Amino acid sequence: MKILVPVKRVVDYNVKVRVKSDGSGVELANVKMSMNPFDEIAVEEALRLKEAGKATEVIAVSIGPAQASETLRTALAMGADRGILVKTDGVVEPLAVAKILKGVVGEEAPGLVILGKQAIDDDCNQTGQMLAALLGWPQATFASKVVVEDGGALVTREIDGGLQTLKLNGPAIVTTDLRLNEPRYASLPNIMKAKKKPIAEKTPADYGVDVAPRLEVLKTAEPAGRKAGVKVGSVAELVAKLKDEAGVI
Amino acid sequence: MAVLLIAEHDNSALNGVTAKALTAAAAMGSPVHVLVAGQNAKAVAEAAAKLSGVEKVLLADDTLYAHRLAEPLAALLVSLAPGYDAIVGPSTASAKNVLPRVAALLDVMQVSDIIKVVAPDTFERPIYAGNAIQTVKSNDAKKVVTVRTASFAATPEGGSAAIETVGAASDPALSTFVEESIAASDRPELTAAKIIVSGGRAVGSREKFAELIEPLADALGAAVGASRAAVDAGYAPNDWQVGQTGKVVAPELYVALGISGAIQHLAGMKDSKVIVAVNKDEEAPIFQVADYGLVGDINTVIPELKAEIAKVKG
Ligand SMILES: Cc1cc2nc3c(=O)[nH]c(=O)nc-3n(C[C@H](O)[C@H](O)[C@H](O)COP(=O)(O)OP(=O)(O)OC[C@H]3O[C@@H](n4cnc5c(N)ncnc54)[C@H](O)[C@@H]3O)c2cc1C
Ligand SMILES: Cc1cc2nc3c(=O)[nH]c(=O)nc-3n(C[C@H](O)[C@H](O)[C@H](O)COP(=O)(O)OP(=O)(O)OC[C@H]3O[C@@H](n4cnc5c(N)ncnc54)[C@H](O)[C@@H]3O)c2cc1C
């Protein structure tokens, strides 16, 4: 069984992004970019399944600009076998990403696609579910445990109030939550080896997908800030303020 | 614009986030119909029918919907979609799971986690962990929208909508439910609580969480939250996590105890009305958003705080 892992290049989670003064978007020039943290978890899970003999090949795919190949190299350095870069410079919304991924799935015929539950830039939390819909496959989002067994997968999911376990029949879509695993760091020899692993280049047109956005961004603004508060000197002062000034207890 | 709102429930009670999402749905247009898909969920439908401004409640009562698995629920929503211009749900684990599936089947780009309805097709939504707010216009014929319920007031009761039974849609038979473990609790739910007491890595253990954080929460009638570090370390269950990738909350009072204030945590609580932070490091970023900050050790501050609260509450 092959496993396909879509990986997205996003602004590093440590960066505090700034809104451009003209409201046209956020400042992305010269900010550090990394692999979406949930996708690192997805790559790790795929590698563990391969190491456990449940999968034969791990293929990473990224949709984005030429620099997205760096994200693919990171996946290859972690241990993925090969990469596919679907090159496009503009904005690609989750629906278009899902359509492209459907095309990739058509070519590669994986038994499992593992995605992140959300990308930390747009926080959409859509792509995996959309891909599952387009393929007519079962889905298990927000996974905290994945067991691959005869012709399917047993997945435990983080839901409101607790955990839920589902059995998925046949090829399936899984999206990762934070506690699925702790991704490995790529070792130096593996980073060197990754340079020789193949990355195929494609375009959305190869899959017949129109990536024109459906959502029009009218404006991007700073969120309302909070006014600076005060430091209190004692617990008694704190409770008095909560009672008399803020009126919340 | 006819709007179909998905009710959040556990087959026995309507979850309060539904009334908040209803406020957003009603701002988009009317009539608003509420879909209750579940098993033996008549009481839920009756509760939804009482919400002001609901024109009709659709009750799809079938074993197929007992656990609201994405595949059959999406099939049901797609079968109902022709009658509506918009399909709306609260940003709960359940709706976040199913709605993108519906959107893709309808060839619509979903608008996730809206915090404001600007016009029936235009919404505000946070991006980059709430560090920027985007105004987006959907050019799709049908809208599929999830609502960040912390940003909307609940619609009060006062209606008496008719309840209409709808048959089950076809069963895609792609997945089966195996089991669920839901923690029972007498405390208010995180997304509905007026007060939240949250603990971070500094708490140190599951036992200390139960010994320090939970009694303080109970003294205040509060829900309990946690940082990701506390959840990852096993001090608190996963569904207590507040933040960009956990729950987004906006209570009247949020008390952060031994939490540093990473952007991912702030993303989940910085719209709270009043924020209190206790941290032994006076430089901790949490103090930049706290209305009241106390520099101190939680091990000594929390018991004092509990005693002082007991005093003023009499
Ligand atoms: C530099 C930049 C500028 C942008 N500007 C705009 C803009 O002006 N307007 C606008 O509407 N949107 C903009 N976007 C958003 C963007 O094009 C899509 O809306 C977004 O990539 C998809 O949402 P998401 O990643 O939050 O999806 P999610 O559904 O949250 O992603 C979930 C998972 O899907 C997979 N995935 C998602 N995208 C990809 C990908 N490209 N390649 C491989 N796997 C993927 C990953 O596994 C990911 O973890 C911009 C994005 C970037 C990076
Ligand atoms: C993809 C991604 C998603 C994430 N999502 C979330 C999310 O949803 N929610 C979330 O919370 N985090 C999230 N994080 C993690 C986040 O970046 C921080 O690591 C986390 O919030 C830190 O938790 P903390 O404040 O409890 O721990 P720390 O940062 O370790 O802070 C502990 C604090 O306690 C103080 N302290 C220590 N001892 C005491 C004492 N005795 N008395 C008083 N104070 C004391 C310290 O001064 C320190 O400020 C995410 C990270 C990533 C990469």
Q: What is the pLDDT of residues A55-85, one digit of tens each?
A: 999 999 999 999 999 999 999 999 999 999 9
Interface contact flag, A140 B93, Cβ < 8 Å:
no
Residue B183 has pLDDT above 90, yes or no: no
pLDDT at A204: 98
CA B283 – ligand 2 centroid, Å: 14
pLDDT at B184: 83
Residues B230, A147: Cα–Cα separation, whole Å = 26
User: pLDDT tens-digit profile of A173-210?
Assistant: 999 999 999 999 999 999 999 999 999 999 999 999 99
Give the pLDDT band of residue B37 (cuts 50, 70, 90): very high
Q: What is the mean pLDDT of residues A75-103?
A: 97
In chain A, % of residues over pLDDT 70: 100
CB of B181 less than 8 A from some CB of A: yes
pLDDT at A120: 85
Residues B236, B213: Cα–Cα separation, whole Å = 10
Interface contact flag, B239 A13, Cβ < 8 Å:
no
Q: What is the mean pLDDT of residues A3-29?
A: 93
Closest listed ligand to the CA of A175: 1
Interface contact flag, A179 B293, Cβ < 8 Å:
no
Interface contact flag, B181 A167, Cβ < 8 Å:
no
Interface contact flag, A215 B183, Cβ < 8 Å:
no
Q: Where are the beta strands (DSSP E) in chain A?
A: 2-6, 9-11, 33-35, 57-64, 82-87, 112-116, 139-149, 152-159, 162-169, 172-176, 199-202, 215-221, 230-231
Closest listed ligand to the CA of A128: 1
Residues B209, B222: Cα–Cα separation, whole Å = 14
pLDDT at B83: 97
pLDDT at B2: 98
pLDDT at B55: 98
Give the pLDDT band of residue A227 (cuts 50, 70, 90): confident
Residue A228 has pLDDT above 80, yes or no: no
- The partner residue sitting opposite B263, judged by closest CB among A16, A121, A126, is A16
Q: What is the mean pLDDT of residues B36-46?
A: 98
Give the pLDDT band of residue B243 (cuts 50, 70, 90): very high
Tokens (6 digits) for A133: 């819909």
Mean pLDDT across chain B: 96
Task: Please give the residue that has the higher pLDDT: either B32 or A170.
Answer: B32
CA-based end-to-end distance of chain B? 52
pLDDT at A243: 94
Q: What is the mean pLDDT of residues A215-224?
A: 94
pLDDT at A155: 98
Q: What is the mean pLDDT of residues A161-173?
A: 95
Residue A39 has pLDDT above 90, yes or no: yes
CA B205 – ligand 2 centroid, Å: 14
Mean pLDDT across chain A: 95
| B94 interaction partners in chain A (CB closer than 8 Å) | 159-160
Q: Where does ligand 1 bind, in terms of residues with CB under 6 Å?
A: A 6-8, 25, 28, 36, 38-39, 61-64, 91-94, 97, 115-116, 118-119, 121-128, 213, 215, 217
Nearest chain A CA: its distance from B59 CA (Å): 22
pLDDT at B10: 95
- Bridge-based pairing of strands A112-116 and A2-6 is parallel
Task: List the Cα angle B246/B252/B258 in 5-degree steps.
Answer: 55
User: pLDDT tens-digit profile of B298-312?
Assistant: 999 999 999 999 998
Residue A161 has pLDDT above 90, yes or no: no
CB of B175 less than 8 A from some CB of A: yes
- For residue B138, the chain A residue with the least C-alpha distance is A215
pLDDT at B59: 98
- The partner residue sitting opposite B228, judged by closest CB among A164, A178, A226, is A178
Cα A83–chain centre separation: 16
Which residue's structure tokens are 């979903």? Answer: B110
CA B240 – ligand 2 centroid, Å: 14
CA torsion B266-B269-B271-B276 (nearest 10°) is -90
Atom of ligand 1 nearest to the CA of A176: 49
CB of B297 less than 8 A from some CB of A: no
Q: Residue B70 corresponds to which amino acid?
A: A
Residues B10, A249: Cα–Cα separation, whole Å = 31
pLDDT at A122: 78
Give the pLDDT band of residue A9 (cuts 50, 70, 90): very high
Residue B212 has pLDDT above 90, yes or no: yes
CB of B122 less than 8 A from some CB of A: yes
- The partner residue sitting opposite B112, judged by closest CB among A125, A169, A216, is A125
Residue B86 has pLDDT above 90, yes or no: yes
Nearest chain A CA: its distance from B169 CA (Å): 16
Residue A224 has pLDDT above 90, yes or no: no
Give the pLDDT band of residue B39 (cuts 50, 70, 90): very high
pLDDT at B14: 97
Residues A105, A120: Cα–Cα separation, whole Å = 24
User: pLDDT tens-digit profile of B254-278?
Assistant: 999 999 999 999 999 999 999 999 9
Atom of ligand 1 nearest to the CA of A130: 29
